[in-house]
A and B are shown apart, each in its own frame.
Chain A
Amino acid sequence: MPGRVILGVGNLIMCDEGLGVRCIEELERRGGLPPDVSTIDGGTSTNELLGELEDLDLLVIVDAIASSAAPGTLVRLEGDRIPSAFSNKLSPHQHGINDLLATLQFIDHAPARVVLLGCVPARLELGMELSPEVTAAMPELIERVLAELRP
């Protein structure tokens, strides 16, 4: 069943690490997404998601992206640049997603288009709250996600 998926990944109990999941929660709270768009709170899982990510028209991954840029900075990567981003340790759970994308490709069910939207975290310690920097960046991040869905 082709469609579009927004996948938020990350660990909710490591503060900003969970920003991808927080983004999904916010999108679900707001509602009103186009009917062909589903949201998935992927947490830090990988293989469990395989069935839901096959043959998509568009996959938007939202994640925390470690970088020397200032916390709260938004980052966008598309297509071929994504696997190398994940394999270069930009995210603590990178390999899972990288593996998932490679598997989808190997079995010929890769999404037509993959976009990674990230935000540079400020706090990666135990806790369930987002940092002020990431909290401030969230509205813009959500706007960017919604912009990916527009034709």
Chain B
Amino acid sequence: MAKRIVIDPITRIEGHLRIDCEVDHGKVTNAWASGTMFRGVEQILLGRDPRDAWAITQRFCGVCTTVHAIASVRAVENALQMAVPKNAQYIRNLMIAAHAIHDEIVHFYHLSALDWVDVTSAARADPKATAALAESISDWPHNGVHVHAATKDRLTTQINSGQLGIFANGYWGHPAMKLPPEVNLLAVTHYLQALEVQRKANKIVSILGSKTPHIQNVAVGGVSNPIALNSQSVLSIERLLAVKEAIDDLKAFITQVYTVDVAAIAAFYPEWTAIGKGVTNYLACPDFPLDEKGTKFVTSGGYIPDADLTKLQPITTFGDALLRENVAESVKHAWYKGGKGPLHPYQGETEAEYTDFQENGKYSFVKSPTFAGKPAQVGPLARVLCAVAAKDEAITGHLTRLIGMVEGIGKFKVPLSALHSTIGRHAARAIMCARNVEILEQQWELLMKNIAAGDSHTFEPPVFPDHEIQGFGFHEAPRGLLSHWIVIDKGKIKNYQAVVPTTWNAAPRNESDQLGPYESSLLGTPLADPELPLEVLRTIHSFDPCLACAVHLVDPDKRDIIQVRAL
């Protein structure tokens, strides 16, 4: 007899997410992903100056501020067919690479590692054995006995206090937790070290963007950073050297800790390379433009149907017709007024029409986007697969190294097809992080060289025609392909639609009732205990939905309400 479980909310930051599963004989047999918060933010932009859109769109979401600013200016620049100065491209590239690294590290250690790592088991580990294990797999200099002993003390104090603090709401002692105590302790040590390291990525964004979490320096037509190597108040040599120092620190952590830890988790959870596959149409866009018009990029993008890498359809330029012509969004199962079939984003409408949760009708505030009529998975895995299909040697090299580490630790063979899985998404994110730090170095050098050659140009003022124009901007954000679509009439915004990565992945069923990537990835997932659906979380978290929180099963009777006293 099938049993229904509801996990609500999965995310609490922005865009609340509910997952419903039907479970039969210990396996998920059907699933629904429901965004339970209205997301019609685009309406705020109507009638406004397109030059202001980026500052408003970076408030769309708490985690993905920079990415919306970037996609927005690119959309307006595409509508105007503008060239953007090279320095501005490099400075933006540095910010987006640093932002991505921040996101990747935080996602793995602070938002998803605890799905795999049991902190209560870590408190039982032997620090000496932990150090020996760590030193056998990595050259990281901060893996000594005393470091792990200090972590263990800290954990023990926290556990003995009776309050788990940041580790509350974990599935400790769950039968699906498989790591030995020493690996758990190693991971908790690195959890703490990652808290330190993530700041360095954030520092790069704040040096270049003037401020985080909301950058200030982006503008339609470039960036507002004046470059003067000998000045204190602008982008000076001192600030650029501080950026370089942060890059070096990040690189050490990513190559010696993050990628190694992902390999270790993959090696201890081999069954998870065969769980969580879901939709295998992959979509990514190229990024890190190297020229003024966005015709040359560092990373590759395109569409891969049915996991067949030989069928890559590449996306190669800003404004690429392949992406422009193939995106549509259905609201058949989403709480918006519909009846017109799937709409292209330029024609997109966002008028709410809430029903109840109707599993065969409307059940989500997330629209269902399709590429060429089919659901597509976006994110680091799509990015890595496009790179492999496009024969990108740098990313393929990181992939080969990671697979080698998993095979070395786990003593089993890992085929490329293992990537189509829950663990595969974590592996792809680590691979992209290793690549992103190289891109940071590369963009830093390009910027320095260009400045040294006498170019300090960073901004080209936009000029708006007095007729209607439209354009779209794409950005390969940490969570996947992000696109902003804009229609401008006489210098004012006439329509605006953002098709965000989580919309692709958390999509409800589409016009032809095909399941979205989250839904599809859950089918067949084994659950040791349906009351404690850790396995569902593992797969959903592997997509990196916007969340910074633990999850609980809905239990309306237990919701306590705090009494607040008015001043």
Q: What is the interface of chain A, defined by CB distance below 8 A to chain B? A: 11-13, 41-51, 65, 67, 69, 73-77, 84-85, 88-90, 92-96, 99, 102-103, 105-107, 126-128, 144
Contact = CB atoms under 8 A, between A and B. Distances in A.
B553 interface: no
B490 interface: no
Contact of A106 (B13, B40, B158, B203): B158
A96 B59 CA distance: 15
B199 A44 contact: no
A74 B566 contact: yes
Contacts of A42: 213
A84 B165 CA distance: 11
Contact of A77 (B63, B198, B564): B564
11 contacts: A11-B14, A43-B65, A46-B548, A47-B198, A48-B202, A69-B564, A75-B564, A96-B12, A96-B62, A96-B549, A106-B165
A32 to B, nearest CB: 21
B463 interface: no
B166 A99 contact: yes
Given A47-B106, A76-B567, A84-B562, A126 B213 contact: no
A67 B562 CA distance: 9
Nearest to A109: B195
A95 B549 contact: yes
A102 B106 CA distance: 16
A47 B567 contact: no
Q: How large is the interface on B (under 10, 10 to 19, 20 to 34, 35 or more residues)?
A: 35 or more
Given A95-B13, A105-B165, A50 B62 contact: no
B212 interface: yes
A12 B566 CA distance: 24
Given A67-B564, A94-B12, A45 B62 contact: yes
Contact of A90 (B154, B192, B564): B564
Given A12-B59, A50-B198, 18 more contacts: A12-B56, A13-B44, A41-B214, A42-B213, A43-B214, A44-B63, A46-B13, A47-B198, A48-B213, A49-B213, A51-B199, A69-B564, A69-B566, A85-B562, A85-B564, A90-B562, A92-B12, A95-B549
B102 interface: yes
B567 A74 contact: yes
B13 A65 contact: no
B561 interface: yes
B452 to A, nearest CB: 31
Given A67-B564, A75-B567, A99-B549, A13 B154 contact: no
Interface string B28-55: 0000000000101101100000000000
A79 to B, nearest CB: 14
B110 interface: yes
B560 interface: yes
A103 B168 CA distance: 11
Contacts of A65: 564
A96 B192 CA distance: 17
B565 A75 contact: yes
B549 A45 contact: no
Interface string B208-252: 000011100000000000000000000000000000000000000
A50 B562 contact: no
A65 to B, nearest CB: 7
A48 B168 CA distance: 21
B269 interface: no
Contacts of B154: 106
B60 interface: yes
Given A96-B62, A144-B567, A48 B14 contact: no
Interface in B506-542: none
Contacts of B566: 69, 73-75
9 nearest interchain CB pairs? A44-B62, A45-B213, A95-B549, A102-B166, A102-B165, A88-B562, A74-B567, A48-B213, A95-B12
B41 A13 contact: yes
Contact of B195 (A13, A50, A90): A50
Contacts of A84: 562
Given A99-B548, A106-B165, A43 B59 contact: yes
Contacts of A11: 14, 59, 62
Given A41-B214, A43-B59, A45-B62, A106 B166 contact: yes
Contacts of B61: 44
Given A48-B213, A65-B564, A106-B165, A13 B60 contact: yes
Nearest to A67: B564
Contacts of A12: 56, 59
Contacts of A96: 12-13, 62, 548-549
Contacts of A48: 102, 202, 212-213
Contacts of A89: 559
Nearest to B199: A51
Nearest to B211: A41
Contact of A50 (B12, B44, B199, B567): B199
B192 A107 contact: yes
A103 B166 contact: yes
Nearest to B546: A44
A27 to B, nearest CB: 16
